[in-house]
Structure formats: structure tokens, C-alpha cells
Amino acid sequence: MSREPSKTANIREIARRAGVSIASVSRALNDKPGISEALRERILTISRDVEYRPSAAARQLISGKAAVVGISLGRRDFELRPYYILLYQHLTVALHRQGMVPIFFPHDRTASLPEQAGAAILLGEFADDPRPELMTSHGVPFVRIGPAGESFSVAPEDRHGIYLATRHLVEGGRRRIAFVGDDLQSPHSQHRLGGYRQALDEAGLEASLIDIPPNLDPALTGYRWLSRRLAHEPRAYDGLVCETDELARGCLTALEDLGLEVPGEVAVTGFDDLPTLAGSLTTVRQDIAGIAAMSVELLGEALAGKPPRHVSMPVELVVRQTS
């Protein structure tokens, strides 16, 4: 009763169609030297036609552990955050598509990653993160999700995204715009803060920072902080640029409970555009699936010994009902 599994073409099928040996196909597919450019092109075209997907199993069998990719989360308190969850999920799919096998390493077990995996993706980077050094010293190729540095890395355009959101509020006539952040000291927040400051500077407005202590439950913490602040001075802000959708949710709920109208009296923006969570929020969308796919692509380059590079992934302002 089970549906016929879509028979995916293998290397032999491509070789047959191209009229060459499987060795040549393998070389073309893996960007290996020792094959003419013309043949490579022809083989790549055919492999696209037949929607070739490499077999994770076969590759892994040969390379030993090389196809096993360890995914490492940075700190305990990051591990349960929705953004990382989604990234992790997309990474799983993207790796599988490339014939690689994901295996998860919680923060406290990352030390054993080099023994079990042939490559790594590092999420949730933090200050003085020892993991890049760990990977390097064990000869494990890796990609970071984070700001440009010495190794391969991918990051969304944090600064630009927050700039867009802030400018959007400015253009909507807001004048008392605060930035609500999780942990303003982190390098990550610093980037986003930069975008906020730039937009305010351009408009000649004053900056106002709300620094929520890093927390397991940003929505609740944001809610409490804003509730207290506005209890004393309800008109303190007419715009809130939040660093994450979660913080924005907490702020929205606080405004609702205080009877302040959104977006009439206060406009709110988020960041991430998380499914379900973002809802009717005006926010900055990151392409999480795209970031995952790019990480895997870069990991391929790292495994091939190519020189490290950083890729900045585009973001987009999504205007909804809170601004």
C-alpha cells in the first residue's frame, strides 16, 4: 500500500547518460581536479536534470566519520530559544540533503564533538567562546553562525534589519523610540544597537535603551519590566524596537494590560519573524532556512579546504499591525 518511493538517480545512472565512467562523475560532482571543464559541465547538467541527491550512507561509509556533522549550541540558556530551535531544524534538513548526518551536542558535551563528528556547526556564539579554538586544534572543519571572524561564518544583516525597523518607526512619526534588548553587552546586540543608533542619528532623535537581563523567558521578563516602567510614566515611549520577537510579545502584552493602544499610542517591532510567534507583529524577517542552507554550503567549502569567508544573509522588514 506504500507509495512508490521516488527513485533517486545514482552516480551510475548519471554515468550511463553521460557515457562516461562513474569515477568521472564522482570527480565532477565533488569539484575534484583531473577532469576537463567541458565534461564537468555536462555531468553537472545531467545531475541537475535527474535531480541527483548524493547518498549520505555511501559517502559516510567511505569517509568514516567525515559526513557526521556535530551541531553545537553555545550556552545552556540558548538551547531552548525558539530561534535556535528553528535553525537547528532547518540545519537537519539541509545537511540531510547534502548527504550529511546531523548529531546534536548540548553545551556541556561539545568537548566530545571532535571524537564523534568530522565537521561542526557552531550556534549561539558568546564572548570568549572556546569552541572555535577547540575545533581548530582537533582539525575539525567548522562554520560559525555569527559575526565575521577568522573562520567560516554566516549571519543575518543584524544591523541593517534593526536600522530598517527603526527608520520605519521614525517615518511613521514616532519620536520617543526605545531599543529593547536582551543582553546589550553581547557582540550580537552591539550590532543591532548600531542600526538603531544610526536611524535615530539620521533623524536627530535621542536614543533610549532598555536592557532586559538575559533570561530564560524574555517575554515574561520584558512584560514585567515594561509594566513597571510605564506604570510611572505611561507616555514614556511611542515606539519600541525590540531585539527579538519574543521580547516584542512581552511588550505587546504589557501594553495591552496597561490599556495602551497599539499601534495608536505605541508602535512595536520585533526581529526574526518566527512562525506562529510573530503573529500580527511588524518585524524583521530572517531567512532561517537560507541561513541553514548557506551554513551547509560553507561547511562543504571548509571540508574541501577552501579559504574561510563570511556570508551576510539579507533581512526584510515585514510591516503588519503593530506599527
Q: Which does 22 bind (CB under 5 to 8 A by kind): DNA, a second copy, none?
A: DNA
Burial of 120 (0-12, 13-18, 19+ CB in 10 A): buried
Out of 30, 45, 136, 321, the only residue in the binding site for DNA (CB under 7 A) is 30
Pairing of strands 119-122, 68-72: parallel
Residue 241, judged by CB atoms within 10 A of its CB (0-12, 13-18, 19+), counts as buried
62 binds DNA (CB under 7 A): yes
**Binding of a second copy by 9 (CB under 8 A):** no
Burial 141-163 (b: 16+ CB within 10 A, else e): bbbbbbbeeebbbbbbbbbbbbb
Angle between helices 187-203 and 158-171 (to 10 degrees): 30
**DSSP 3-state of 7:** coil
CB of 95 or CB of 212, closer to DNA = 95
21 in contact with DNA (CB under 7 A): yes
Judged by beta carbon distances under 5 to 8 A according to partner kind, the member of a second copy, DNA, none in contact with residue 20 is DNA
Based on the shown chain and the rule CB under 7 A, indicate whether residue 4 belongs to the binding site for DNA: no
CA atoms within 13 A on the CB side of 53: 13
Member of 69, 200, 277, 281 binding a second copy (CB under 8 A): 277
Work out how close the CB of 44 gets to DNA at its nearest, in angstroms, rounded to a whole number: 13
The DSSP code sequence of 163-200 is HHHHHHHHHTT--SEEEEES-TTSHHHHHHHHHHHHHH
- 68 interface partner picked from DNA, a second copy, none, CB below 5 to 8 A per type: a second copy
Q: Looking at beta carbons only, is 34 or 173 nearer to DNA?
A: 34
- For position 46 contacting DNA by CB under 7 A, the verdict is no
Q: For residue 285, how many other CB atoms are within 10 A of its CB?
A: 18
Q: How far is the CB of 112 from DNA (least distance, A)?
A: 20
Residue whose CB is less far from a second copy, 292 or 315: 292
Say which entry of DNA, a second copy, none residue 225 contacts (CB below 5 to 8 A, set by partner kind). Answer: none
| CB distance 14 to 50 below 8 Å | yes
Q: What is the dihedral of CA 281, 283, 289, 294, to 10 degrees?
A: -170
Query: What is the spatial distance between Cα 85 and Cα 105, in angstroms, rounded to a whole number?
Result: 13
29 binds DNA (CB under 7 A): yes
Are 103 and 130 in contact by the 8 Å Cβ rule? The answer is no
The entry of a second copy, DNA, none near residue 231 (CB within 5 to 8 angstroms by kind) is: none
The contact mask relative to a second copy for 84-123 (x = CB under 8 A, - = no) is -xx--x--xx--x----xxxx-x-------xx--------
Q: Does 112 bind DNA (CB under 7 A)?
A: no
Residue 103 and residue 69 in contact, taking contact as beta carbons nearer than 8 Å: yes
Run of H or E including 84:
helix 82-97
In the numeric block, which cell numbers belong to residue 116?
564523534
Q: Out of 41, 45, 49, 58, which residue is the one contacting DNA (CB under 7 A)?
A: 58
**Is 257 a binder of a second copy (CB under 8 A)?**
yes
> Could you say which residues in the range 130-169 bind a second copy, by CB under 8 A?
137-140
Report the residue number, 19 or 213, with the smaller CB distance to DNA.
Answer: 19
- Binding test (CB under 7 A) with DNA, winner from 3, 5, 6, 33: 33
CA pair distance 302, 149, nearest whole angstrom: 14
Query: Binding residues for a second copy, per CB under 8 A?
Result: 1-3, 5-6, 55-61, 64-65, 67-68, 76-77, 79-80, 82, 85-86, 89, 92-93, 96, 101-104, 106, 114-115, 137-140, 216-217, 219-220, 223-224, 246, 249-250, 253, 257, 274-277
